[in-house]
Amino acid sequence: MDRIEEVNLHTKEVEHIITGYLPKEEGFQKTVIEAMNYSFLAGGKRLRPMLMLETYRMFGGSSKVIEPFMAAIEMIHTYSLVHDDLPAMDNDDLRRGKPTTHKAYGEAMGILAGDGLLNLAYETVALAFSMEPENVRVGQAFAVLAKKAGIYGMVGGQTVDVETDKGDAITREKLDFIYRLKTSALIEASMLVGAILAGASEAEQEIIEKAAGEVGLAFQIQDDILDVTGTSEILGKPVGSDEKNNKATYVTYEGLEKSKEDVEYLSKSAVERLASLSVKNEFLNQLLLSLIQREK
């Protein structure tokens, strides 16, 4: 089985787990639930829950307590995309080849769908407390997830990104801050939650967090590269939007070739950090390396 086939197989497994936590489309609030499910089921790599599950497995985790966290991290990621596409933010019409949520359901319902997904994420994680009420790691993992998604994580990075889009001067320091929080924070949360729930030591958690930070940065730089080199058909969204909007990116500062080199360096560095651990997960290594070759 080659790498792509293996990733697809694991993606199906993750998809089966996380979609089981979606709400039924019923009641007077049915429209917002439909919009939430539309956004969640629009496709995607399911990278974050997959990283969470494989890190959990790497440290010997085998309980279903990981599953609510997997669904929650994808709900948080999806809500961020729904709000990112809104007219007040990036004003995008396409996401993964389909109309964005606010285009399909209207701007007000797009806002509410994002709100609903974020709240549902915490409702879903709360299920883990009753699954293993004596497990103190559940609370520790919950705290990491909440912080990495909030003002000291993804929301904080998005705030600076929005301010620079509206005219604030962008410096390399600010760009690094945006990437570290807006993209890397949720990937760090994914892998850290998996490690914590499986009982990794503090030293092992530190290695995981650093490796995940490198993965997140590599992932975002590759996004910048694809905005220059990709096609709308492959990406499922408009290309060249960064240049059109005069948006500073990693490619702007470092150039295309250096950006490609840095993606490879960061990905391999992350794999080397994982290799320093006494526990191993070869599929996780291959998954991280696959970020180099991705086209969407």
Transcribe 159-188 into DSSP letters.
Answer: HHHHHHHTT----HHHHHHHHHHHTHHHHH
Dist. CA 24–CA 236, nearest whole Å: 27
Give the per-residue pLDDT at 88.
93
Give the per-residue pLDDT at 164.
85
Q: What residue segments make up the domains of the chain, in order of their start?
A: 3-293
Note the CATH architecture for domain 3-293.
Orthogonal Bundle (1.10)
Give the per-residue pLDDT at 74.
98
Give the per-residue pLDDT at 135.
98
Give the per-residue pLDDT at 294.
72
Is the whole-model pTM more than 0.95?
no
Give the per-residue pLDDT at 245.
54
Give the per-residue pLDDT at 184.
95
Structure tokens at 278: 């006494």
Dist. CA 273–CA 281, nearest whole Å: 12
Give the per-residue pLDDT at 238.
55
Give the per-residue pLDDT at 236.
52
Buried b (16+ CB within 10 A) or exposed e, 68-84: bbbbbbbbbbbbbbbbb
Q: What ranges in the chain are assigned the alpha helix state H?
A: 3-19, 30-40, 47-58, 66-84, 101-105, 107-131, 136-149, 154-165, 172-182, 184-198, 202-229, 232-235, 241-244, 250-254, 256-275, 282-293
Q: pLDDT means per 10 residues in the chain (296 residues)?
A: 83 97 98 98 93 98 98 98 94 92 98 98 98 98 98 96 79 89 96 98 98 94 89 52 65 92 92 95 88 70
* CA atoms lying within 13 Å on the CB side of residue 32: 16
Give the per-residue pLDDT at 172.
83
Which 3 state secondary structure label does DSSP give 2? coil
Radius of gyration of the chain (CA): 18
Closest CA to 103 of 121, 86, 79, 78: 86
